Amino acid sequence: MKDFYGIELIIFDLDGTLVDSGMDITNALNYAIAPYGFKPLTVEDTIKIVGEGLTRLIEKIVKDNNTPVKDAVLDRFINYYSAHLADFTRPYPGVIKTLEMLGRYKKAVISNKRESLSKKLLDQLGLMKFFDIVLGGDSASGKKPSPAPVKKVLETLGIEPHRAVIVGDSDLDIQAGKGAGVTTVAVTYGFRDKKSLKDADFILDSMDELLTLIEIHDS
């Protein structure tokens, strides 16, 4: 098992890890699909299908090959969501305190949400100041579970893989991290069930526990 010795960089997933965005994404989806007769989604419905990027999210709902409908739903979603990113979205408990306490480490966000939306959300929540770099699903040659965005962060910041950690709430984050050779940390409070996180090097029940992990292993 990997550890935290000599860690210089901590990479975070966004939705389901740093912020609870389920309600705002659900509201935007329901607005987007309303004219087309699809059944409205609950937050529980939404968090089961998010994570692989916006285009894939819309495909999971529309399901057929009706490209004009998919394009229209996508446009409606982006227009609505861009204007309502933080109506209900808030950082999870312990996130702000943890980020404040990690001042001496480089920090990054890698989301499968588009980069512009990720940065706008972080800015609206007052979290952007904590991060050296923010990548979205459109920022690298592949999106999670591809290791491409993790490798891009490492290269941009000049950090060796063994000196980095990725923290996320899904198997996509774990696979991306392992593919790039970084230590993987999963949080159980997010959008995925604990069974899907079993391959992570460490599993946490709250963000506060990250501070304890680092203190124990990198002291």
Q: Is 173 a catalytic residue?
A: no
Q: What angle do CA 166, 170, 176 make, to 5 degrees?
A: 50
Residue 23: how many CB atoms within 10 A of its CB?
15
Strands 19-20 and 106-110, bridge-based pairing:
unpaired
Sequence-separated (6 or more) residues with CB below 8 Å from residue 43? 22, 23, 26
Instruction: Write the burial class of residue 39 (CB in 10 Å: 0-12 exposed, 13-18 middle, 19+ buried).
Output: exposed
> Which of the following is catalytic: 3, 13, 45, 123?
13
Tell me how far apart the alpha carbons of residues 111 and 136 are, in angstroms, rounded to a whole number: 5
Helix extents (H) in the chain? 22-33, 43-49, 54-62, 67-83, 95-101, 115-124, 148-157, 171-180, 208-217
Residue 12 and residue 167 in contact, taking contact as beta carbons nearer than 8 Å: yes
> Furthest-apart CA pair in the chain: how many Å?
57
For residue 7 the two structure tokens come to 């860690």
Active site residues: 13
